[in-house]
Structure 1
Amino acid sequence: MKKRTFLKTGLFFGVATATSSFLDACKTAGKNPESVTAYPVIPPPKLRRTTPFELPKLPYAKEALEPHIDKMTMEIHHDRHHQGYVNKLNDAVKNTVYADYELYDIVARVTTSDEDRNIRNNAGGHWNHSFFWETMSPDGGGAPGGELATAISKQFGSFDELKNLFGTAAKGVFGSGWAWLCVGKDKGLFVSSTPNQDNPLMLGVVQKTGTP
């Protein structure tokens, strides 16, 4: 399988597995960044983060995903790009309302305002990449089972149809961006895409919100 094919369609298997843990966690909410209280399930923001954001360690060796993703590619995207988002986020949140928020609280509350632009991009980059590493595994792949398999059949008709929709969403991204499998407000699954470092958790940014 070519690297591009793996990144755009093979990633689905990991995302699908991660999504299954959220099937019963959906509520509804508005988009006011200061009063998000329900969907996705987010606790009220607290001044509880006392240390800078840090680059998470990979859950596997950098060469573990070869031949789909080689070691050099992992080093570039994890050690350079992801670290860059972390560094810039720490700088961007200084002296802002987000200064002591946890990452999830920031992502859920950023807006499309000019003053939030750098925070939105770098918080999204940090969250998206952290999620990305966790959705892949050298032992991953294959069709999901259990509750998720049932939900996929109900929503999309078949696992193959979902893979087609996911691949189409990924290939339709112009420039940089992401394809997502999410749980929506109605607890049903949906496929979407976002540009740049946006994601479906950004209640004040994206049109269709959900939990990846």
Structure 2
Amino acid sequence: MNWRDGCQTSGFTNLRSKDLHTGHEGVLWALISLLSAAASCVGFFMPFWLLGSQMGKPVSFGTFRRCSYPVQDEVHGGTVMVEQCGRYASFLSIPSVEWRICTVVTGTGCGLLLLVALTALMACCMSDIISRSVGRVAGGIQFVGGLLIGSGCALYPLGWNSEEVKQTCSNASDQFNLGSCELGWAFYCTCAGAGITVLLCTWMSCFAGKKQKYYPY
């Protein structure tokens, strides 16, 4: 092997070493992005944002779903609690305007986080997809998605004065006042996913894709 071949081999080795290091950063960003997106999406879908009780039965709410709801007993008369989970019959059936906005805003944010996370995972299997500029754009999308989810979480307490929530919280709840109710794990899970995305994933996206430096030898 002559001197030129040796320099070319050395340059190739240095380039591959840089690619490997950048790949590790990208994989870590993709994994954390997926975990944070999954946390937000699972928390958003599960109806355990607000926990209370009604007629001696545990009741829980999400933004567009609830568990345990009262129905009229046509056989024996009166009202009974059906201990099942389900979504509201229509968008307008959601108890308050604030919760409807929360559903749209949080759902949009979760969709953006999931889109970026899946794209980042696919990029781990294909080279030269995530460049520095693409990584920054992805980070910007994550930042917007995280802010949307955070805004949805901030809007959620504005709906605690609805009649359904008051019935569940001993008629003592109001905006930003839980009464006898408490926040559930799904609310914290959604907020945590948004926080990790805004504070960590957005920053990591700046290093996930880097410009490759090619050397003449």
Give the helix-richer structure, 1 or 2. 2
TM-score by length of 2: 0.27
TM-score by length of 1: 0.28
Give the strand-richer structure, 1 or 2. 2
